[in-house]
Amino acid sequence: MRTEPVRRLIVWRHGETEHNVGGIWQGQLDTDLSARGEQQAAAAAAALSGLGPTRIVSSDLRRAAHTARVLGEVTGLPMEYDERFREIHVGTWQGMTQGDVAAQYPDAVDALSRGEDIVRGDDGESVAHVEERVLAAAQELITDLPDDGALVVATHGVAGRALVAALIGLPQRQAWLSMGGLRNCHWAELAEHRTGWRMLTWNVGVTDSVISTSDR
């Protein structure tokens, strides 16, 4: 049976950072990959290259851009950047530990635990804000994607889930409750069908056994 070409989107979270390990709210702080994050990026890039990517667009924050650049080196594809794929801005929480945020903003943390979509850190963003910008960016890119194209978007945990949920028509609160977050250097693959976008995989990544442990 002849199979028609299908456009695909791969939403990829950046590798580990020291802030991830330390339980620190990053938001749009411009942090670097840890040594382990660099290893994760290399292993994931080797796996993702097998999915036949045709275009790579990344958040301009270093942790995502570095992750994406490794895939660009493996595939020979040029790098593009779009700040709309940045992580959720968490305002005054940026750089604070999870414990400090819980202690200083107990009502906000309680609201988040109930699944309420509040603005983070007094003057940050809500997930609704993130959904609006990442979806707009993705739709522009998808317009130019050929019928058999595979776009890789290198982004962040909340931003990545928000984008996937928006494309498949899942309410953000339900996505948070049922999907959880993308783990470091894990990805989701979506394919476009006549009825819209479908999620083929979620939270796929390279197993720890494949990643070197020399720098742990």
DSSP for 170-207? --HHHHHHHH--PPTT-EEEEEEETTEEEEEEEEE---
Whole-angstrom Cα Rg for the chain? 17
- How many angstroms separate the CA atoms of 146 and 139, rounded? 13
Residue 207's pLDDT is 74
- pLDDT tens for residues 90-135? 999 999 999 999 999 999 999 999 889 999 999 999 999 999 999 9
The active-site residue, picked from 14, 66, 156, 186, is 14
187 phi, psi to nearest 5 deg: -145, 165
The active-site residue, picked from 16, 38, 66, 87, is 87
Give catalytic status of residue 189 as yes or no. no
Q: What pTM did the predictor assign?
A: 0.93
Q: Give yes or no for residue 192 having a pLDDT over 80.
A: yes
- pLDDT tens for residues 28-48? 999 999 999 999 999 999 999
Q: Give yes or no for residue 214 having a pLDDT over 70.
A: no
Conformational region of residue 52, where left means phi above 0, alpha means psi within -120 to 50, and beta covers everything else: left
Q: Give yes or no for residue 205 having a pLDDT over 80.
A: yes
Counting residues of the chain whose pLDDT is more than 70, the rounded percentage is: 94
β-strand 8-13 against 79-81: which pairing, if any? unpaired
Give catalytic status of residue 129 as yes or no. no
Residue 216's pLDDT is 26
> Which residues face 192 on adjacent strands?
197
